[in-house]
Amino acid sequence: MDMVKLLDKYVIAGILDDDQQLTGKEVLGIPVLGTRALFPVLLEKGVSQAANGVGGIVDINVRINIFESLENAGFSFPSLIHPQAAVEKSAEIEEGVQVFANAYVGSEAHLHPRCMVNTNAVVSHDCVIGMYSHIAPGALLAGEVQVGARSLVGMGVTTAIGVKIGNNVRIGNGAIILADVPDKTIIQAGRFWTGKVGTP
C-alpha cells in the first residue's frame, strides 16, 4: 500500500480480508472494508482493479487462490513498480507483476503475470520469471536465468548464469545455485546446488 501511494496513480478504495474480526480496522490508514463477499459491491461502484497483498508465504497456493478469486469476480491487476526500483526499458512486465523498492530488472528480462520481484532483488538481463513466482529480497539472478511458474527463490539466493529453475520449486534462503533445478525440488537454505541431490 505504501508503494501504491508513492505511485500517485491509484486511489486505494480499501482492504478486503476474510478474517471478519479485522473489518472496521485500519492498516496504514486504509480501512478494512470486509471480506471477499464485497467483490460484487465494489465492482458495482466502479472499482475494477485489485492488488494481491499476500506475499511469499509457505503455501504459494494461498496467493494463487486469491488471484484466481479476484479474476473470476471480474477484477484486473495493475503492474506495480516502486519508484525506487530500476527496470530497463526493454524488459517486459506483464499484468499483476509487483516490483519492490531497490530491485533491478535487466535488459530484455521477461516477468510473467502476477510474479513478484521483492526488495533489493536483482533479475539480470534476459531472465524469465514464471507466473506467480516470487523472487525474494536480496536474491541475485545472473543473466539468462529461467524461473518456472509458482516457484520461490528465497532471500539472498545467488545463481550462476543461464541456470533453469523449474516449476513449483522452493529454494531456501542463501542457497547458491550452480546447476539446473528440476520441477518440484526443495533446496535447503544455505546449500550449494550442483544438480546432485544431497551434495553440499
Residue 199 is assigned to a structural domain of this protein? no
* Residue at 184: amino acid letter: K
Q: What strands, in cross-sheet order, belong to the sheet with 92-93?
A: 92-93, 110-111, 128-129, 146-147, 164-165
Supply 41's cell numbers. 459491491
CATH of the domain at 49: 3.40.50
User: What distance in Å separates the CA atoms of residue 13 and residue 33, rounded to the nearest whole number?
Assistant: 9
Residue 176 is assigned to a structural domain of this protein? yes
DSSP helix, strand, coil percent of the chain (3-state; round to 5): 15, 25, 60
Task: Walk along the chain (200 residues) and give the pLDDT tens digit of each residue.
Answer: 999 999 989 999 999 999 999 999 999 999 999 999 999 999 999 999 999 998 766 778 889 999 999 999 999 999 999 999 999 999 999 999 999 999 999 999 999 999 999 999 999 999 999 999 999 999 999 999 999 999 999 999 999 999 999 999 999 999 999 999 999 999 999 889 998 655 44
Residue 200 is assigned to a structural domain of this protein? no
What is the dihedral angle through the alpha carbons of 89, 90, 91, 94, rounded to the nearest 10 degrees? Answer: 90
Render pLDDT for 71-101 as a digit per residue (tens, 0 to 9): 999 999 999 999 999 999 999 999 999 999 9
Specify burial of residue 91 (Cβ count, 10 A radius: 0-12, 13-18, 19+). buried
Residue 175 is assigned to a structural domain of this protein? yes
Residue 107 is assigned to a structural domain of this protein? yes
Helix (H) or strand (E) holding 44: helix 39-44
Q: State the total domains in the chain.
A: 2
CATH of the domain at 116: 2.160.10.10
Residue 109 is assigned to a structural domain of this protein? yes
Range of the domain at 46: 2-73
Domain limit, last residue, from 45, 73, 101: 73
Residue 31 is assigned to a structural domain of this protein? yes
Degrees, nearest 5: CA angle 137-143-145: 75
